[in-house]
Chains A and B, each alone.
Chain A
Amino acid sequence: MSQPTGSASLGHAQQQPAPPPPDLVEVTLTINGSPKTLHVAPWTSLLDALRLQLDLTGTKKGCDHGQCGACTVLVDGRRINSCLTLAVMQEGRAVTTIEGLARGDALHPMQEAFVEHDAFQCGYCTPGQICSAVGMLEEGRATTDDDIRELMSGNLCRCGAYPNIVAAIRQVMDAQATDAKGTDAKATNKAGGPS
């Protein structure tokens, strides 16, 4: 649950004609695990802050209107459209982009699965697809392929790689379910088995 924070009052920026350089506001975000302090105009979207100020160009600008999902990132673990929120609105939060999913040289299992299933053609929607898929598995609401299609409908792929995208997500979902079962079984053995 969000907590109230101190007022982040900014000066009024003048409008027409020829607006002066805007008063910038300081924003501190945790980006892929590292704290970053930025100075942004109030109207800077989180997407533009990531791409233009932090050089994290993995997050893509597709429609810039929340219709295509290419800009999907995880904020405090939840998937959102970074084009429809202001950087300043995310003060204090943890943002994970496609650049933050791998562990060193080891790809995230969802990245591995997209490669294995050839789940893209041009690749432009892929960072958003992968972040969205990671967020969807975290939400834990999908069990069937139809659920995947429904809950991934905010991510468009104009190349039409949808069947392979579903297959890639399905593989990671099944692997997680097997892992969970394995863990349960181990726990049961430990509790009930002879020692």
Chain B
Amino acid sequence: MRAFSYDRPDGVDAALRAVAGQAESGSPGSAQPPVKFVAGGTNLLDLMKADVMRPDRLVDISRLGLDGIEETDGGGLRLGALARNADTAYDERVSTRYPMLSKAILAGASAQLRNMATNGGNLLQRTRCYYFYDTGTPCNKREPGTGCGAIGGVNRIHAILGASDQCIAVHPSDMCVALAALEAEVRVTGPRGERVIPFAEFHRLPGDTPQIDSTLAADELITAIDLPPQGFAAHSTYLKVRDRASYAFALVSVAAALELEGANGATIRSARLALGGVAHKPWRDREVEAELAGKPASLETFRDAARLLLREAKGRSHNAFKIGLAERAIVRALAEAAGVEHP
């Protein structure tokens, strides 16, 4: 690891002063901001060992006290940015009211990592694209303008939706897929005050600036993640498909949540659907969700929805299998959420 200095400020204001001036008029972060916050450290320190991230100063925010889980006035839950992933997943309010979120968190990483990793850090973790990690290869996300090693290279784990000709990396989080389906909100603070970022707007597609993962500015700090009251506890699931049964990133994952109505809950009143492992951000398609509303909760409906969602999916030399895999995963997740028998 390269040399760096380390601070542990005693409050949010002091932490923000340490990153002040890193973002010009609130623009999103550059590929290599000189000062980085560290909390769990599970991804950042790994990236620093690989020489992918090269900050010259680390600001330890882990003891700022933003680690509670509290009720909000509106009937939702506020997850502290610095609450550990394990504490969040096992919190009884989370596991009973937002079971899809608990399941997603526990599908990710290992028990040791979940004991370290924080909620804010989970949102900000970076892609596990092999070329992003390998400093001997070109990567537009790591070194803008150098090219993409994955396009035309080994791209089995890469994107099938929303990719660009600059980057086909995927966001690696499980937690974020459930947060996208729940329409969580990310609370941040910075020199321009506090703001709330709807989850759908937090992560971004690569376009021609794949070095920028999110809309968080380099001088801002995530303080909490707000969950709305609707947790879809009765009819939801998180399905993760991966190369081994545990401790592997998703090839495809699906957060599926339904509100059912009518006799025996046979009709879909509303639906949420988010996919992981397929794009540069958790993938939601509101057109598909709108199509599901009012339809019978049946395998036929779910197959139509899956095909509609994947209508513009594009496979590469090694990952075209993900399109069929995603279709089957969507059908199975929706069927499980609805309590419908599936093959």
Interface residues of A (CB under 8 A from B): 1-15, 19, 22-23, 25, 41-43, 45, 64-66, 69, 72, 78-81, 84-86, 88-89, 91, 132, 135-136, 139, 141, 149-155
Complex Cα distance, B111 from A149, in Å, reads: 11
Q: Which 6 pairs across A and B sit closest by C-beta, in order of nearness?
A: A154-B110, A153-B246, A42-B6, A13-B3, A153-B247, A8-B8
| B5 contact set on A, CB distance < 8 A | 10-13, 23, 42
Q: Contact at B62–A66, with CB atoms within 8 Å?
A: no
Q: Contact at A2–B67, with CB atoms within 8 Å?
A: yes
Q: What are 19 A-B pairs with beta-carbon distances under 8 A?
A: A1-B68, A9-B7, A10-B5, A11-B5, A12-B56, A25-B6, A43-B1, A43-B2, A43-B48, A66-B112, A81-B42, A81-B112, A85-B41, A85-B45, A89-B41, A89-B62, A150-B245, A153-B247, A155-B110
Q: Contact at A8–B6, with CB atoms within 8 Å?
A: yes
| A22 contact set on B, CB distance < 8 A | 3
Interface residues of B (CB under 8 A from A): 1-11, 14, 38, 40-42, 45-46, 48-50, 56-58, 60, 62-65, 67-68, 86, 90, 109-113, 115-116, 245-247
Q: Contact at A80–B65, with CB atoms within 8 Å?
A: no
Which of B7, B40, B42, B46 is A8 in contact with, Cβ under 8 Å? Answer: B7
| B40 contact set on A, CB distance < 8 A | 85
Main secondary structure of the interface of A (DSSP, over half): loop
Main secondary structure of the interface of B (DSSP, over half): loop
Q: Contact at B247–A154, with CB atoms within 8 Å?
A: yes
Q: Contact at B112–A86, with CB atoms within 8 Å?
A: no
Q: Contact at A7–B4, with CB atoms within 8 Å?
A: no
Q: Contact at B2–A15, with CB atoms within 8 Å?
A: yes
Complex Cα distance, B50 from A45, in Å, reads: 14
Given A8-B6, A11-B5, A86-B41, decide whether A65 and B115 contact each other with a Cβ distance below 8 A.
no
| A150 contact set on B, CB distance < 8 A | 245-246
Which of B49, B57, B112, B245 is A72 in contact with, Cβ under 8 Å? Answer: B112
Q: Contact at B45–A42, with CB atoms within 8 Å?
A: no
Complex Cα distance, B44 from A193, in Å, reads: 58
Complex Cα distance, B64 from A12, in Å, reads: 22
Given A2-B67, A3-B63, decide whether A88 and B6 contact each other with a Cβ distance below 8 A.
yes
Which of A14, A41, A135, A154 is B113 in contact with, Cβ under 8 Å? Answer: A154
Q: Contact at A79–B111, with CB atoms within 8 Å?
A: yes
Q: Distance (Å) between the CB of B21 and the closest chain A CB?
A: 16
| A3 contact set on B, CB distance < 8 A | 63, 65
Q: Contact at B67–A86, with CB atoms within 8 Å?
A: no
- Known contacts A15-B2, A85-B116; can you find 16 more A-B pairs with CB under 8 A? A3-B65, A4-B64, A10-B6, A15-B56, A22-B3, A65-B50, A66-B46, A79-B112, A80-B112, A84-B41, A89-B38, A150-B245, A150-B246, A152-B111, A153-B247, A154-B111
Complex Cα distance, B114 from A84, in Å, reads: 12
| A10 contact set on B, CB distance < 8 A | 5-7
